[in-house]
Amino acid sequence: MTTPKPVGRRLYESACQVIPGGVNSGTRYVGEPYSLAGAQGAYVTDADGARYLDYHAAFGAMLLGHNAPEVNGAVARSLDGVDLVGVGVGETEIEMARLVVELIPSAEMMIAAMSGSEATAQAIRLARAVTARPLIIKFQGCYHGWHDSVARNVISPAGRAYGRDPLSAGILDDALDSTLIAEFNDLGSVQALFEAHPERIAAVILEPIPHNVGALLPTQEFVEGLRSLTRKEGALLVFDEVITGFRHALGGYQQVCGVRPDLTSFGKAMGNGFPVAGLAGRRDLMERFDFDGGDVLLAGTFNGHPVSAAAAIATMTYLRDHPDFYTRTHTLGERMRLGLAGIADELGVAATVSGFGGVFVLYFASAPTLGYRDLLRNDNAAYLTFHRRMTDAGFLMLPMALKRNHVSGAHTEDDVERTLEAAHDVLKGMLAEGLLTT
């Protein structure tokens, strides 16, 4: 008698018949679990009933935890009002913008979007319009979305890092060549690009902490130097806080480091899982989006959608009214980082632990890890194996190289301790099998 396939596997194979690759975003394919059927708090359940403690957190979008009642209740109430009419402006859009301006230090005005990619696309277009310059600078390892202006040089192999490494076919050469690549935490590499392209660089865009390659922590000298350099050169400074925003502090990482960019993109955690994002910045810049007198296009049927705006308002309001959220998640994140470092030291594994707030990452590389060049030493095979085995043990971690993990507001001290016990067992097993460098 043939053993029936697991439900999740059958769902994935069915999806492959009608969805290219079986997933609607390339990084969603992780093998087991193939399909998630339920989520609550810090846990998710797959289509076959297996339960996982979730550190993936939908790439960081789940900040308060899955199905947070404060957010879901606000969304449910919004359904009793206006849905989508495409005319005028609603109260929820206004309140969302007011909260953003109140909470993010550099924000004087805001526009709404539905994804981080849309927000960074608007930032780059606006920067080019304001400066009348064609080029932008991004950093090797930073990810700013799928659009042509920035779809290059993220997790690049050694042979393509800092050179031409597009994320997709179909991007015009001119688009690729209009984006210059610098090294994170290396102000000299940025200065060299300004010197090589005088009065042609419109903006420098960066993740203040490049979480798309784990967690490269910026030096204060670097972020302050970027602020001074861009002002001197007449370029805009854009913080992409799609991941760091609201997760690390109520005002994003710019609140932590005390550096105010000209523009800030944000999303993901802002709506605790609902599709919402935005761009904020100085009033004189943002007014270029004004349909009556401005010259930069702002369009999008779903921008400021009542459901998404309600989710964002509820999430931001909760964070504003519960400052202990950051105390808790930062404490748990630090316990996780110290615990992993202790395990690696005990076992004699060549590894470095990094992260900030509730984010943690275990690099299989020796210190330092300041820029992407340091990450080229990471043992990606070990990294994948560690995440795969942790997931198989019931702790959901994205099994891709250089990906971060997230502690949400729903995680507990016991969750962290159990995770560390499992990590000890997994690393000890990998060491015994000769899969780790000592």
Tokens read off for 297: 């296009």
Residue 402 main-chain phi, psi, to 5 deg: 65, 30
Q: How high is the pLDDT of residue 3?
A: 66
Residue 205 main-chain phi, psi, to 5 deg: -115, 135
Q: How high is the pLDDT of residue 406?
A: 98
Q: How high is the pLDDT of residue 1?
A: 52
Q: How high is the pLDDT of residue 83?
A: 83
Can you list the domains of the chain with their CATH numbers? 7-60+323-432 (3.90.1150.10), 69-321 (3.40.640.10)
Short-list 54, 74, 48, CA closest to 66: 54
Q: Could you count the other beta carbons within 10 Å of the beta carbon of residue 317? A: 16
Query: What string of pLDDT tens digits covers the 438 residues of the chain?
Result: 556 679 999 999 999 999 999 999 989 998 899 999 999 999 999 999 999 999 999 999 999 999 999 999 999 999 988 888 788 899 999 999 999 999 999 999 999 999 999 999 999 999 999 999 999 999 999 999 999 999 999 999 999 999 999 999 999 999 999 999 999 999 999 999 999 999 999 999 999 999 999 999 999 999 999 999 999 999 999 999 999 999 999 999 999 999 999 999 999 999 999 999 999 999 999 999 988 889 999 999 999 999 999 999 999 999 999 999 999 999 999 999 999 999 999 999 999 999 999 999 999 999 999 999 999 999 999 999 999 999 999 999 999 999 999 999 999 999 999 999 999 999 999 999 999 988
Do 411 and 332 contact (CB within 8 A), yes or no? yes
pTM, full prediction:
0.96
Which residues are part of the catalytic machinery?
Answer: 143, 240, 268
